[in-house]
Chains A and B, each alone.
Chain A
Amino acid sequence: MAYDKTLGELLREQGITRRGFLKFCATTASMMALSPSMVPKIAAALENAKRPSVIWLSFQECTGCTESLTRSHSPTIEKLIFDVISLDHHHTLMAASGYGVDEALHDAMKENYGKYLLLVDGSIPVGNPAYSTISGVSNLDQLTEAAKGAAAIVSIGTCAAFGGIPHANPNPTGAVAVSDIIKDKPIINVSGCPPIPVVITGVLAQFLTFGKLPEMDELGRPKAFFGQNIHDRCYRRPFYERGQFAETFDDEGAKKGWCLFKLGCKGPVTYNACATMKWNEGTSWPVESGHGCLGCSEPNFWDMGGFYNSLSTPTIDIAKTAAAGLAAGAAVGVAAGALNRRKKNKAAREHETVTINDLEKGAKS
């Protein structure tokens, strides 16, 4: 492994022109909402960055995050940048198998102890570690061991960031996020199911450039990509304001591209870059293709009361709970009413009639 070569040298070896490289730096700067004056700084930092060792661990996941990263980019500069990062261990992308894989992992960990970036996709089962093991080693043990020597951890995808689908109710494996286990390392959550590829590369580029983690939101996500609300950036927003909604997926409203709120769009509570960066090299994104946002970059998105129920509806059966309240209220109400009546009748019974004679007697004495 050539850890000694700089990123600039490696890029030139791969035939990337200076112009192409600067273009990438400018794109990265604008993605991260940095001023244009930062472009040379990014270029200089990336140029001289040593090829960092990256270890990618996959736990309870569907490989969707890796698929997203690899498929969506036919050779773009982002992909090449990713290639020149020394990806020393990645189950899916490695040619090796068996003991060689474990060896590569341990070698990389040993050689770059304290310096490597640990990328994790998938959640970790803590209910019973046997639900997910690699070479007989539980996910929990592997993560704890690999985290020890990591400079920082990047949780790729909602499963690693927040538990994701394995964490969905009733969470049979006791799945948790990386941040639930590792407390002493800087962790950055690149959530999404899957995350947008340029967001992954953007975060890595930022880490390489500044040598530190970017500014993050309350959920540990880089604000540059997760600081914007889908609903606020949605091109269908004017229809929401006007009260024009698609009622079904094939009605007139749907054909006219009206707002998908009533069809369960979770855009208002979702923070991601889909509406601005889009997918498949900026071709489209879910809302543009006519389907509401699932809110996949948010924790517990699987348990937000159904993908096709609108955000303002309750996640519980309100008619059922109201019926329980009605039954209890009726029972207690009738009992209270009966008690009140008894009290009233008793008072009437015990009421002593005062005659005029009694009053006269009282007045005399």
Chain B
Amino acid sequence: MTSVEFLQWVRGPGLAIASIIFVFGMTLKVLEIFMLGRKKNLAELRSSGVKEGFRTIITRFGAVDRFTTRRTMFTHITGWVFHVGLFVAIFLLTPHIELFKSFLGFGWPALPTAIVDFVTVITLITLLIILFHRITNPVLRYLSVGEDYVVWVLTFLPMLTGYMAYHHLFFPYTWLLGIHILSVCILMALFPFTKLTHAVTLFFSRWYNGYMGGQKGVKQ
């Protein structure tokens, strides 16, 4: 297989297979969660809880309390840095916006490539620090399962290959672009069946937390 044939495969059939698995898996997962339902609340409601639900989606972006924040400062900072980095790299790079535009029908302004490149380096370093922390911290290491490492690799590879492709490192660009798209295809295919689903389910579960909390208590 030549580099061109490989690129053609990942841009065509490969991406088609990955996106079918991704959409299929995510729909299945979300429907299953919702169809489990919840027990009927027999108590008198303080409020409908809808407003509190939305508020919690926002408030949980911050820390719960000062003590916890201080104790988990490392996780907070590194977590924020690499999540924002992922957001910038995925959604604010021109070629990626072109991709979204091709099936959404609309685009949005991009950041200059040099800035995205810088953010990518920061994200890659942060991800490496996070992995190092996971391995060296005894508690975290004890709590970690194989999937945690798989998910790390799945996230790290598209960033690394994207960086390599942009800088034409080691291989011809055609190969690198193909490998980059393949790494994203693998990420998409495994996304619905790993912890990565939190990118979607996080909003539902936060809303539910706020919603239930909002219903409890006594009306003033």
Contacts and interface: CB of A to CB of B under 8 A. Distances in A.
A316 B13 contact: yes
A338 B37 CA distance: 11
Contact of B19 (A261, A311, A322): A322
Given A329-B26, A337-B36, A299 B2 contact: yes
B33 to A, nearest CB: 9
Contacts of B20: 321-322, 324-325, 328
**How would you classify the secondary structure of chain A's contact residues: helix, strand, loop or mixed?**
helix
Contacts of A341: 35-37
A326 B27 contact: yes
Q: What size tier do the contact residues of chain A reach?
A: 35 or more
A321 B31 contact: no
Contacts of A309: 102
Interface in B1-39: 2-5, 7-8, 11-13, 15-16, 19-32, 34-37
B174 interface: yes
B202 to A, nearest CB: 19
Given A269-B174, A325-B20, A333-B28, A312 B95 contact: yes
A299 B99 contact: no
B11 A315 contact: yes
**How would you classify the secondary structure of chain B's contact residues: helix, strand, loop or mixed?**
helix
Interface string A291-314: 000000011100111000111111
A309 B95 CA distance: 11
B201 interface: no
A326 B23 contact: yes
A46 B142 CA distance: 73
A175 to B, nearest CB: 16
Interface residues of B, number: 47
A344 B142 CA distance: 33
A181 interface: no
B127 interface: no
A218 B2 contact: yes
B24 A325 contact: yes
Interface in A188-245: 218-219, 229, 231-232, 240-243, 245
Contacts of B24: 325-326, 328-329, 332
B1 to A, nearest CB: 11
A243 B13 contact: no
Contact of B12 (A298, A312, A316, A325): A316
Q: Tell which of B4, B22, B172 has the most Cβ of chain A within 10 Å.
A: B4
B15 to A, nearest CB: 5
A340 B27 contact: no
Contact of A303 (B8, B27, B114, B174): B8
B94 A245 contact: yes
Contacts of B25: 329
Contacts of A242: 112-114
A243 B95 contact: no
Interface string B103-122: 10000001111100000000
A216 to B, nearest CB: 13
A243 B110 contact: yes
B11 A314 contact: yes
A137 interface: no
The 7 closest A-B CB pairs, nearest first, are A329-B27, A337-B35, A333-B31, A325-B23, A312-B95, A313-B102, A329-B24
22 contacts: A229-B172, A243-B94, A262-B98, A299-B5, A310-B102, A312-B95, A313-B102, A314-B12, A314-B15, A314-B16, A314-B102, A315-B11, A316-B12, A318-B16, A319-B103, A322-B103, A325-B27, A334-B35, A337-B35, A340-B36, A341-B35, A341-B37
